[in-house]
Every structure is written in C-alpha cells, then in structure tokens.
Amino acid sequence: MGTEVERKFLVTSGAWRPAVRCSEPMVQVYLASDPACSIRVRIAGDAAHLNIKGRTIGASRPEFEYPIALTDATEMMHTFGGPSVEKVRHHVEYDGWDWEVDEFSGANEGLVVAEIELDQEDDAFARPPWLGREVTGDARYYNLTLAAHPWREWRHEA
C-alpha cells in the first residue's frame, strides 16, 4: 500500500514564481467519495491517472495512483461526472525540497496553496518566506472539498 505524507500551506505572495521549474494545467473529477476514501480521475497535460485516497490521519493517508489512457480518463469524467477542480500546478524548489504550488481556477480562482510531500510526518524542512498559515488538517482545503464547496463561496471565512 502507498502512503502519502503531505503538508499543506496557504501562499501569501508570488515570491515563489521565479523558482518555478515547470507548470502543468490539470483537472480532477471526483467519481466517488465517502468518509473512508475518494476516487478521482486527473488529467495533467497529456497524462491521466486514476487515484484512490483513504482517510487522512495527521498528515498521512493511504494512496494508490495508476496511469490510465487519456481517452479512458476523458470518458470516465464525462460518463461518471462529479465535482471537479481545475488548477495549474507549479513545481518549485526551495532549499532542496520540491514544492507543488497549486493556483486554482474556476470556482476556486484566487486560492493558492503549496504542498510538500515528505517521507515521514516529522521530517524537518525549511519554510519558504512565501508560505502562510498551515492548513494540513483543515478539510476545507482538501481538493475533494474544494470541488464540492468552492473557495469563493466561503472565502470570507478563511
């Protein structure tokens, strides 16, 4: 079983932009979800993946991800539909660590979140100056939640 260990932060400025190594637009459609797991299809550029994530405990959760044909992903999205999230993912290096900075669009436009994947929850890492408040345990910032309850609808509460 795969395990994802991820910490998530709000981004407070665009100071990360000069360090972008590459960027990719992506769309994620959630096919099914319940408290135990979510199933989504993601298209990023010309690649597609089927992803199953379990319940988050701390900063960790079980995760399985499989490459699938782009035509299959497109058909799944149209056939099974479901809430979706659109964003551009920017890959940024800071102090030897790889960060993913997601700029959301559509109903979540204006939200920018940075994520770092770790080997263990207690791994030490340098915090870039453009990081704001940590939202790792805040379910409102899960992509699944953002798909069903877009940020623009609750932004005044953030």
Active site (catalytic) residues = 30
Judge contact between 54 and 60, C-beta under 8 A.
no
Judge contact between 63 and 50, C-beta under 8 A.
no
Q: Give the residue from 50, 42, 41 showing the smallest Cα distance to 26.
A: 42
Return the biggest CA–CA distance within the chain. Answer: 43
